[in-house]
Structure 1
């Protein structure tokens, strides 16, 4: 969306993203057991501003290009690397690669610190973060929560909060024929018994909390159903936990589906349960609200909506009893539901593509002025 808006406004944009290995463009290879691709080395054409959306290979190419061209670097920080470091092996491996490419001057001992979980690894990642932020003109955070987390890097860059906008909500469509529901369809009024989760089923999304809470929801409402959409990695482990908790036959597990089909799931549910505490923004929340689905979050850092209108999102502590109580209240309390839906729709309507574009252009103007002052 960002590229389309900039081009529609008359700006030239060169977009570099991972593409097929055997086609022109940024060639890349898939990462086994991950839904990502790693770009191979490439040489981008010169630009007036470099905006990196990742700290992976393409993003680091942007870091190096901005320095070589002596143009401002803007970076949107989408992933909480500190939170993910002990969960994904590719984070410390990627950090070592970034340090090499950015020539931060670490010793062999300092590189080895990335192999030590906990505080030692975190301090080394913070050191890398400081080196990255020192090269930025502006660091963009998709939420105020993420911006607050930048303090760990003692950022020299200017900080701006700019949530990523969501795409236009599409009309509902049924799930893909290749992934039929495990339970029979519910009639319309019964949607108030459906708890929805959209996202990976891996540890950083906290599926155990969701399952434990849903077991309590079902004890209070025996007809309740849990629908999980987007589960690919660790699917078997998740199914084993569902069975162990006695939830078999009450939980649907769907793989990732096309975006336009996700809207159908939003409109067929009674509440969206969001149990991650490591997300920097989560577009899922804004998408659900734009579709008129109330959400419950366990991360109070994500209570502020991108549109910044109306009340805060409904939040609870990240504990099974607290989440179950919050979900039941959202399903049962008509006044709370109406207010939550109204505020979500108002926020989605207020955060238009034009608002996003104007704020983005202001960030680019700031980056150019920062570079001019430092020259």
Structure 2
């Protein structure tokens, strides 16, 4: 059954908006990309303009007789969004326009031993950044947070070792106007690596997170795999030989967390000073690569490869990105060593790459989720109008 005229208009409007999300286009370009007629595109652009979603943003830079074609783009300040990267001891926030251009950003350390103060400080950070960005209200807020996030409800589930104030922040932010989108930090980091990092050419890959803690995220056929309870990729709980269990916090985490890697580095006579808010191990791994500390890098690769092999042997993703600050600090030297170990242990071919984004992937991914939530809502609302 053919679509009704109103349904067809809604489909066309949404397709055009999704195309414009990637940058301004002329009416002629929209005609070619959508396959619609020029009169239909002209009517569509006027309709979206009347709805306050599309406007003229310039002219096409084309040498020809007569006036240049007008470029149409999404109205960036139609809505504002925020993104948060919530760690154990710190919070970072950005506020951006509808297309993700950052307008204000801030970060602050928090004291996990005073939950009420940590919650107040986080809320103040968000509201102050929104004010500096000129946002009257926030349409959507994307959050990357350690721990289990229920995929059905978006609620943060109790996870061993995480501070109490995380739950308080979620409750406080839900009381603010706007839509809250909560994801596990490694999951949003994988989205960022897929869109803007080192996995853009892969529809299926795994991100092995190496930061303060450890974890993994799985993108299968272009879709983030969260698991039945939101626990897919919780690699820190993976039992490993020689580590007593079952004890919360034991497992792969004791091999590849920042504290474990720093201790390993000390055994090899390596020390370095980390940047603010950076895991201590990132600095020593970066130093090891710089000075060519082969024995330490080999020992580190032995540990990281255990986590990578647990993913590749079950899911065969074809590509593993070593994420987080430590994965990026290790660069190609660490990635190559991990790849060698995987090849020696299994016939499953696996590419191993370092992260292009490091720790910033969490905030970048949280911003992507916030922008998409706002765009989906506004575009769908326009389609229904």
TM-score after normalising by structure 1: 0.34
TM-score after normalising by structure 2: 0.34
Judging by fraction of residues, say which structure has more strand: 2
